[in-house]
Amino acid sequence: MASEERTQEILKGLRKALVEFDEDKVKELAQTALDEGIDPFIASMEGLAEGMIEVGDLYNRKEYFVPELLLCADALYAGLDILRPAIKASGRESEAKGSIILGVVEGDVHDIGKNLIKMMFDVAGWTVHDLGKDVPLERFVEEQLRTDSDIVGLSALMTTSMVSMPEIVKKLKEKNPKVRIMLGGAPITPEIVEKYGADGYAESAGTAVDEAMRLLKMLKKEEMKEGENKR
């Protein structure tokens, strides 16, 4: 088992390699982490996910742009592909936080943002059902009923496509009033989330999981209360 000092050295190296989108280095250090007995969940959270938050900050500070984001995303998935089987084997995944459906609304093919969000939920140990881009309303409803997911995350990058969101929100809540709905994408604001009758919003990948945890806590609290009232 690696010493605490050695562990921090490897986690720091993973963050640095990811920020520098050095895919080979990320893979090498992910394997080293496993070889030296470092918890793969910690390696993915404090190495890869933390590194991606640094990348998000560089993007927000306009030091990184879409191409760098894609290269870092590739490097992260290369590292996750090495760590995920070990996380599964360690049973840490059984602590799955919650389940979420993600998709870009119909008529919209902008999926870079949605893929970054998916990545954050992946590394945070959520069960993610990714419906992709240009997703018709019915698919969101169908998939929510099939998976009974706690949260549905809708993404839109265009003012012309985001206008379909209120109808999706309405249909999802008609079919399952318990479901919580998060909205996101460049044209989305907290005011629009309220106007569209949804429950949550995150401006970027850096805050999406926290927002989902907030919604999940509310959901669990309500379920508890319902349980008590029935008794």
Contacts to ligand B12 by CB under 6 A: 56, 66, 69, 107-114, 116-117, 153-155, 157-160, 182-187, 202, 204-205, 208
Least distance from C-beta 179 to ligand B12, angstroms?
13
Query: Distance between CA 88 and CA 125 in Å, rounded?
Result: 10
Least distance from C-beta 227 to ligand B12, angstroms?
29
Least distance from C-beta 154 to ligand B12, angstroms?
6
Residue-wise burial string across 87-120, b where 16 or more C-beta atoms lie within 10 A, e elsewhere: beeeebeeeeebbbbbbbbbbbebbebbbbbbbb
Q: Reduced to 3 states, what is the DSSP secondary structure of residue 164?
A: coil
Q: Which is nearer to ligand B12, 7 or 129 (CB)?
A: 129
Q: Which is nearer to ligand B12, 43 or 117 (CB)?
A: 117
Least distance from C-beta 170 to ligand B12, angstroms?
17
Q: Which is nearer to ligand B12, 86 or 193 (CB)?
A: 193
Please choose, from the candidates 63, 66, 183, 46, the residue with its C-alpha nearest in 3D space to the C-alpha of residue 123.
46
Q: Which residue has the tokens 């706690």?
A: 150
